Amino acid sequence: MALTELQTLILWALLAKAEGGSFQKDIRPEVTRKDREALVKAGLIISEKRGSRIWLEVTEKGWAWAGDNLHASLPKRSTAGSIVLQDWLTRLKAFMETRGLALADVLAPSPPPPSGNSHSVTYKPQTTTDYSTVRSRIRRAYLELTGGQFNARALLRDLRGKLIDVERSVLDEALKRMQREQEASLYQIDNRIEITDADREAAIYFGSEPRHLLWIER
């Protein structure tokens, strides 16, 4: 979907707020009715009246869109850009402090691969075990796989490909917990002919029963 540069900046301004939501009057750049309705129509935000004020919040589809469009152009002349940047730097600082990271851990180039005849340290990608973080990443990856739609099937083999940095045991436990809490459903592929070796490798087992598909209603 095509957004204007200003609409993209508005979305990033919202994403920088806690939980991706804020009252419209507190957002810079100023949100016009036209831009708000365009973002709502695209399914990237929700808008609701809370008393006399309008509350705006980024949807899961909006988070997924942002993840796929980090390179999207922003308005060159908007004076609100520095405000959005400051909000994002504040969030980045909190993120690093929570996880004990330095800025270089986030932004520095990856080390070169070791040469065949040298004794080098093996670098392992960082992973997360926090359930809420993994759950959020599962939902975003699901929407990426389904084109931003709920009530659609996603293959676990594809989901694992998008979350390759999450340890399998951590990902499996998060998926099982989502099913236990009725936030997701895991199914078998009914047509056995469709099942590939990749599906078998990616399956989650409940007892002796493999599950190959993820389904999220909302």
Rounded mean pLDDT, 157-164: 90
Which residue(s) pair with 23 in the sheet? 55
Give phi and psi for 158, each to the nearest 5.
-75, -40
Given this model, what pLDDT does residue 21 score?
Answer: 87
For the segment 70-124, what is each residue's pLDDT rounded down to a tens digit? 888 999 888 899 999 998 898 888 777 766 777 777 776 555 555 555 454 444 4
Given this model, what pLDDT does residue 7 score?
Answer: 95
Q: Helix 5-15 and helix 81-99: axis angle, to 10°?
A: 30
The Cα 194–Cα 35 span in angstroms is: 44
Mean pLDDT score across all residues of the chain: 85
Residues 73 and 150 in one domain: no
CATH number of the structural domain spanning residue 156: 1.10.10
Residues 34 and 86 in one domain: yes
In a domain, 104, yes or no: no
In a domain, 170, yes or no: yes
Q: Residue 138 belongs to what domain range?
A: 131-215
CATH number of the structural domain spanning residue 24: 1.10.10.10
The Cα 114–Cα 25 span in angstroms is: 52
In a domain, 83, yes or no: yes
Given this model, what pLDDT does residue 110 score?
Answer: 57
User: For 134-165, b where at least 16 C-beta lie within 10 A, e where not — what string?
Assistant: bbebbbbbbbbbbebeeeeebbbbbbbebbee
Residues 71 and 147 in one domain: no
User: Of 129 and 177, which is predicted with more confidence?
Assistant: 177
Given this model, what pLDDT does residue 207 score?
Answer: 79
Q: Could you give the number of structural domains in the chain?
A: 2
Given this model, what pLDDT does residue 123 score?
Answer: 46
The half-sphere exposure of 28 on its side-chain side, counting CA atoms within 13 A, is 10
Share of the chain above pLDDT 70, in %: 89
- Let me know: does 156 contact 202? Beta carbons within 8 Å: yes
Residues 74 and 158 in one domain: no
- Let me know: does 23 contact 48? Beta carbons within 8 Å: no
